[in-house]
Amino acid sequence: MDKKQIVVLGGGYAGVHAAKTLHKAFKKHQDKVEITLIDKNRHHILMTELHEVAGNRVEEDSVKISFDRIFSGKMVNVVQDTIVDIDFKNQRLKGERASYAYDQLIIGTGATTADFNIPGVKEHAFYLWSLDDALRIRCHIEQIVKEASREADAGKRKQMLTFVVAGGGFTGIELVGELIEWLPILCEENGIDFKKEGRLISVEALGSILNMLPEKPRAKAVKYLEKKGVEIKLNSLITQVDADGFTTKNGEVIKTKTLVWTCGVRGTEFCEKLPLT
């Protein structure tokens, strides 16, 4: 009898959890069931730690765990491939390297950053939703601080030393937390007093940050951020972004070379084009 093929597409938190659960459920039926996890990468990425990479607290290797290690000794085959399409009728996944038959399919391909079609976000803001994004932010901040240290024009220097995180949810505020610690150190290494010259700004469209938290811990977080010199701009929906900064709906213009966009996520283009609805 052919084994039933269960395929888990995506090795993020959802996919890894699903594959481990399936292993537990079917480990005594290995003659009847085969489990395969397909991901475009060889590693599971600890997405919830990415702000620590962006803020130079940890090296990139500390957020990468190889699938071989995760599934060592388990009945889960790991395949590295990027799936480009799914033929639901014939139950086949089409990858860049091969195609894969399945009897049961679990899709866990994650989400992508939402820019809400606000002009300039895609072109000029940094996202924080992948390891590459986190490394890009870290590299940019190191570079811009170095450039600021050589900049004689006061206006340009101020712009270079203004760091903005848009979005007051967990991702944004966790990144702000990292920058509170890293920016003064990095600036000092480059001969700059961040307290005197730098700005760290959290911009939020709604009337408060960390809206998912109850009032008490939220107030505590705000108090901490303000004590550390973070400027919190509430009710400040960003309406337009360009290479020199951004404008809010209140008409405020902030000049910066570093705007990190953590304002929400949506389904991936891959999932959007699947005939699932």
Ligand X SMILES: Cc1cc2nc3c(=O)[nH]c(=O)nc-3n(C[C@H](O)[C@H](O)[C@H](O)COP(=O)(O)OP(=O)(O)OC[C@H]3O[C@@H](n4cnc5c(N)ncnc54)[C@H](O)[C@@H]3O)c2cc1C
Residues of the shown chain interacting with ligand X in the complex, contacts defined by CB under 6 A = 10-15, 38-41, 47-48, 50-51, 82-83, 108-110, 128-129, 170-171, 174, 270
Integer Cα distance of 194 and 161 in angstroms: 8
Closest CA to 246 of 153, 147, 165: 165
Q: Of 11 and 198, which has the nearer Cβ to ligand X? A: 11
Q: Which residue, 4 or 40, has its beta carbon nearer to ligand X?
A: 40
Residue 47 phi, psi (nearest 5): -55, -35
Specify the residue, 49 or 231, whose C-beta has the smaller distance to ligand X: 49
Closest CB 127 distance from ligand X, rounded Å:
9
Minimum CB separation of residue 38 from ligand X in Å reads: 6
181 is catalytic: no
- Smallest separation, CB 133 to ligand X (Å): 8
Least separation, in Å, of the C-beta of 249 and ligand X?
26
Q: How far apart are CA 217 and CA 221, in angstroms?
A: 6
Q: Given the complex with ligand X, which of 126 and 270 has the nearer CB atom?
A: 270
Shortest-Cβ-distance residue relative to ligand X: 12
CA distance linking residue 93 with residue 49, whole number of Å: 30
- 174, 189, 269, 272: which one is catalytic? 174
Q: Which residues are CB-neighbours of 250 under 8 A, at least 6 positions away?
A: 235, 236
Could you tell me the smallest distance in angstroms from the CB atom of residue 169 to ligand X? 9
User: Which residue, 21 or 30, has its beta carbon nearer to ligand X?
Assistant: 21
Find the shortest distance in angstroms from Cβ 144 to ligand X: 20
Looking at the Cβ atoms of 55 and 198, the one nearer to ligand X is: 55
What are the residue numbers of the active site?
174
